[in-house]
Chains A and B, each alone.
Chain A
Amino acid sequence: GENVEQHPSTLSVQEGDSAVIKCTYSDSASNYFPWYKQELGKRPQLIIDIRSNVGEKKDQRIAVTLNKTAKHFSLHITETQPEDSAVYFCAAMEGGGNKLTFGTGTQLKVEL
């Protein structure tokens, strides 16, 4: 089955700096890669996603890049704000199915 690894497990940045979180996946047939933000005690919320036929996608301050050859994808957050502090999860969907495999999460802390 699919295996998703996520790094780093914790990330601390100063307000206004950029943050990058990286994930690798094992199944070359995986075709959908979402990123979720989870605040303490809340449900995961989708913040951005990318499909395997696209290399990059942006939405205001967040962007995701995908390298299919290397089987890795990354989340980029620019101009970080205190409200960006949360746990971020990457995930990969197996090809031909609808099951997501999640990474173990990155605790992002944006310091004033």
Chain B
Amino acid sequence: NAGVTQTPKFRILKIGQSMTLQCTQDMNHNYMYWYRQDPGMGLKLIYYSVGAGITDKGEVPNGYNVSRSTTEDFPLRLELAAPSQTSVYFCASSLSYEQYFGPGTRLTVT
């Protein structure tokens, strides 16, 4: 199993551009999550999903959108990128309690 995979690893965006961060898991987990981690800080939940077709907001959803059309994929969309969205983004999945994290995407908005 590859576990949780994320693409791209790194990205630089200009202010106002849009992009999609990809997340895929091959463990047949129902629950998937998107977090952001700012330097020297903990992880903050952006959006989560309890299954295909069901998504809900986390602590910091503004400026982001998600969709969950399949069990495996949970893409995160950034519209009109802003410098405040410079961060490391982690995707995670779980079957019940334990969450498994992807390797992260380091995003810089300038």
Name the distance in Å between A14's Cβ and chain B's nearest Cβ.
24
Interface residues of B (CB under 8 A from A): 31, 33, 40-45, 48, 50, 58-59, 90, 94, 96-104
A-B contact pairs, 5 of them (CB 8 A): A43-B103, A46-B100, A98-B50, A100-B43, A101-B59
B50–A89 contact, CB under 8 A? no
A46–B99 contact, CB under 8 A? yes
The number of inter-chain residue pairs (CB within 8 angstroms) is 50
Q: A interface, by DSSP: helix, strand, loop or mixed?
A: strand
A99 at the interface (CB under 8 A from B): yes
Evaluate whether A99 and B42 lie within 8 angstroms (CB atoms) in the complex, with A49-B97, A93-B97 already known. no
B101–A43 contact, CB under 8 A? yes
How long is the Cα–Cα vector from A1 to B41 in the complex, in angstroms? 19
Q: Which 6 A-B pairs have the closest CB atoms?
A: A102-B42, A43-B101, A102-B43, A104-B42, A32-B97, A98-B31
How many residues on chain A are close to B (CB under 8 Å)?
21
A43–B102 contact, CB under 8 A? yes
Interface residues of A (CB under 8 A from B): 1, 6, 32, 34, 42-46, 49, 51, 89, 93, 98-105
Residues of A within 8 A of B31 (CB): 98
